Structure 1
């Protein structure tokens, strides 16, 4: 019989949960479009196989005005017409920054340069912080087998 997993580590260590919440709030309040951040969150969570992250990302994307087509097809954003050039740049950066170990040059200049054409320095910082927070939370949820829909 497998050993029982710990509950959400951010709940076990409340100060860590508070820090993640504060960082999430800082990113959300930094002025980048909430729809774009939610689509990025959704895509990173899909890559990481994080059920709660996918459910949260989809709900947040809808809340911020993403279309049904965008939410349904974000995993195939390259092959669909439903994303702007800015969204495509953010999703490419999200994928590269999430899959750091998958290639020798994890965030190639081509990906960075396209993102830098659409986002200024502060917006890139916000996007990277958002991607980092998503990946951190995914990396807490997946090993502890957190389920979508649990409080």
Structure 2
């Protein structure tokens, strides 16, 4: 790792961890299960090319009971039958929010996603996507070592 960003800005990272904790707590209350969040975190990390976070979230996904087959197929989730409609909505929402520059979020995606998530759950899902995008940027910028995370 290039530097320890946790010790470089403890107040900033404390704020990030606070948001992460809010998402984790909301997940338990709003049926954004740990498994669903692990899929979202892994997919966003794939899109961003964050090896450290891919390693972390696939380990967490396995711990939450995720199958190898679904993890291996995650980068091609649209072409497989392995994901529920709710998971597909979450993954599409996560991808659109990660690749938002120049694309925006169209009304059809919003409506499809709202069929599966309450207003609070969709807000918390979006906060989860924002959080993993930020963690990806920190890990990539400061060269966090893939494989070092222990679940």
Q: TM-score, normalised by structure 2?
A: 0.89
Q: Give the Cα separation in 1 of the matches to 2:6 and 2:104.
A: 28
Q: Give the Cα separation in 1 of the matches to 2:62 and 2:109.
A: 26
Contact 1:8 1:141 in 2 (8 A): no
- Paired position in structure 2 for 1:143: 141
Please, which runs of 5 or more residues in structure 2 have no aligned partner? Answer: none
Please, which runs of 5 or more residues in structure 1 have no aligned partner? Answer: none
- Paired position in structure 1 for 2:72: 72
Secondary structure of 2:37's match?
helix
- Paired position in structure 2 for 1:132: 130
CA apart distance, 1:49:
0.5
Q: Give the Cα separation in 1 of the matches to 2:4 and 2:89.
A: 32
The answer to whether the aligner puts 1:17 opposite 2:7 as a matched pair is no
CA apart distance, 1:150:
3.3
- Paired position in structure 1 for 2:112: 114
Deviations 1:100-127, CA, capped at 9 Å, x for gaps: 12x3x32122221111000001110110
Secondary structure of 1:127's match?
helix
The count of corresponding residues between Structure 1 and Structure 2 is 145
Higher relative contact order (CA 8 A, sep 6+): 2
Q: Give the Cα separation in 2 of the matches to 1:111 and 1:8.
A: 38
Q: Give the Cα separation in 2 of the matches to 1:149 and 1:21.
A: 21
Q: Give the Cα separation in 1 of the matches to 2:98 and 2:59.
A: 21
CA apart distance, 1:6:
4.1
The answer to whether the aligner puts 1:87 opposite 2:87 as a matched pair is yes
Q: CA RMSD in A?
A: 1.5
Secondary structure of 1:148's match?
coil
Q: Structure 1 runs of 4+ off > 6 angstroms?
A: none
